[in-house]
Amino acid sequence: MTEAARVRDAMRGALAVAGVVSLLTLSAVAQAPPKARQPVNAEAAALQDFQMRLDAYLKLRASLVKGLKPLTTTPSPVELAARQAALAAAIRRARAAARPGDLVPPNVAAQIAKAIRDDFNRRSAADERATFSEVPNAVRPAINQTYPADAALPTVPPLLLLNLPRLPDSLQYRFYARHMLLLDADAQIILDYIANVLPPH
């Protein structure tokens, strides 16, 4: 079996275990009296909470998209830029009061931080250098800020992505200075971020 297959099998196994744990948690929550409604697995409960927040964002996004020209193939760069800007503006208006941690709660941020730490501990100095060569030096990000147009979109190492909570297609994790962003990929705006999770570089 290849290393890739082993990694993926391990991930699938972990996801299966997480799924069973989540089901057990839900089952326990549904059946237990109010006093006993503590999650049996804190990590699974945190991920479930994260998923619910993402679902709520996607629902909001879908409702915003309904009122805009669709993000579909176009021959016109002017039209493409206008649709992207309209979506970004709509998201900004709808999430004007959003604060760091609204989408990525602290306990999930801690899991992500650990995954990043573990990943970089495994990497060679050359690997680390190559990864950070793309990362823009920047000040602390802000919610609803547009990702800088002149900066590269740093590649999140694929083996790290395997170990992060999965995101829907329209959202992406991206590195930004020493921070991890949660970006809306089409609108290119920062939805949330985890500060100072990358090693100094």
Partner 1 sequence: MSFRRIDVRRLRTLLITICLAVSVAAAQPVRPAAPSSTLPNAANSVKFLVIGDSGTGGREQYQVAAKIAEARLRFPFTFAIMLGDNLYGSENASAYVSKFERPYKPLLDAGVKFYAALGNHDEPSQRLYDKFNMGEKRYYTHGHGDEVDFFVLDSTYITPQQIDWLEDELEKSDAKWKIPYMHHPMYSSGEKHGSERDLQVLVEPLFLKHGVDVVFAGHEHFYERLKPQKGIFYITQGGAAKLRKGNLRDNSVMTAKGFDTDRSFTLVEILEDHMFFETISRLGQVVDSGLITRREVSETPSTR
Q: Give dist(CA 14, CA 20) in Å, integer.
A: 10
Q: Give dist(CA 56, CA 118) in Å, integer.
A: 30
Tokens of 174: 């991206």
Closest distance to partner 1 from the beta carbon of 146 (Å): 11
Residues 2, 34, 96, 121: which binds partner 1 (CB under 8 A)?
2
Footprint of partner 1 on residues 104-133 (CB under 8 A)? 126-127, 130, 133
Would you count residue 7 as binding partner 1 (CB under 8 A)?
yes
Q: Give dist(CA 139, CA 154) in Å, integer.
A: 16
The bridge status of strand 171-176 relative to strand 189-194 is: unpaired
From first CA to last CA, the distance across the chain in angstroms is 35
Would you count residue 32 as binding partner 1 (CB under 8 A)?
no
The region of 46-54, 68-76, 89-97, 192-200 touching partner 1 under the rule CB under 8 A is 68-76
Would you count residue 8 as binding partner 1 (CB under 8 A)?
yes
Of 29 and 151, which CB lies nearer to partner 1 in the complex structure?
Answer: 151
Site string for partner 1, 133-152 (x = CB under 8 A): xx--------------xx-x
Q: Give dist(CA 56, CA 25) in Å, integer.
A: 21
